[in-house]
Chains A and B, each alone.
Chain A
Amino acid sequence: QVQLVESGGGVVQPGRSLRLSCAASGFTFSTSGMHWVRQAPGKGLEWVAVIWHDGTTKYYTDSVKGRFAVSRDNSKNTLYLQMDSLRAEDTAVYYCARDGHCISTMCYFFDYWGQGTLVTVSS
């Protein structure tokens, strides 16, 4: 069964950095695109970033460009989100999600989600 488990969330001061991880199991990680989606407290879902199956292509929402970096280690079945220059408005639950299982290409929907990890940016 597909499992996605996020970790690395916590409380961080504005301007500081944090790295989130997402451990994947139950499927061939190296053939799946992966996304990060966030949800601010009491708010809706916001797509953050995507990385293609082989790590060669990455895209970001405008509000995190230049501050966040998505990466993956296919040998460890793990997805990462490096978050720098954090702002109060980055406070949210961060979910990793698998791109619909279009082998080695992109489907542009999310068929499996992790349980999320909370990031709180506050002084």
Chain B
Amino acid sequence: QSALTQPASVSGSPGQSITISCTGTSSNIGSYNLVSWYQQHPGKAPKLMIYDVTKRPSGVSDRFSGSKSGNTASLTISGLQAEDEADYYCCSYAGSGTLLFGGGTKLTVL
């Protein structure tokens, strides 16, 4: 299967809100509420930010939120902070026990 589609880069100023989209198909995002989002700083392991489309693990700031419409999931970060600058990856269950990542989005905080 092809990777989920994310914008290569997004940017925003401190305090602003940004949204990262993640587009799949009816075979993955469109069929399951099993979308998760990960934050990765350079040289570090990824960190879970959102799971099951909208749920936030304990310890993750409520500035991070997730949603889904049809075959597209979205991650919104409000009140941008310098430490939010990182790569972000979406991931969806794709059936038959398999998972599919997006290509990743580099977030720059201006």
Interface residues of A (CB under 8 A from B): 35, 37, 44-47, 50, 57, 59-62, 95, 100, 106-111, 113-116
Residue of B nearest to A45 (CB): B101
B38 lies within 8 A of A45 (CB): yes
User: Are A108 and B93 CB-contacts (below 8 A) given A47-B98, A47-B99?
Assistant: yes
* A115 and B99 alpha carbons, distance in the complex (Å): 20
Question: Which residues on A sit within 8 Å (CB–CB) of B47?
Answer: 113
Interface residues of B (CB under 8 A from A): 1, 3, 32, 34, 36, 38, 40, 45-48, 51-52, 57, 87, 89, 91, 93, 96-104
Cross-chain contact of B38 among A60, A107, A110 (Cβ < 8 A): A110
Question: Which residues on B sit within 8 Å (CB–CB) of A37?
Answer: 46, 101
A107 lies within 8 A of B97 (CB): no
Question: Which residues on B sit within 8 Å (CB–CB) of A61?
Answer: 98
Question: Which residues on B sit within 8 Å (CB–CB) of A35?
Answer: 99
A113 lies within 8 A of B45 (CB): yes
Question: Which residues on A sit within 8 Å (CB–CB) of B51?
Answer: 100, 107, 109, 111
Interface pairs (23), CB distance under 8 Å = A37-B46, A44-B103, A44-B104, A45-B40, A45-B89, A47-B91, A47-B98, A47-B99, A47-B100, A47-B101, A50-B97, A50-B99, A59-B97, A100-B48, A108-B36, A108-B93, A109-B34, A109-B36, A110-B91, A111-B48, A111-B57, A115-B45, A116-B45
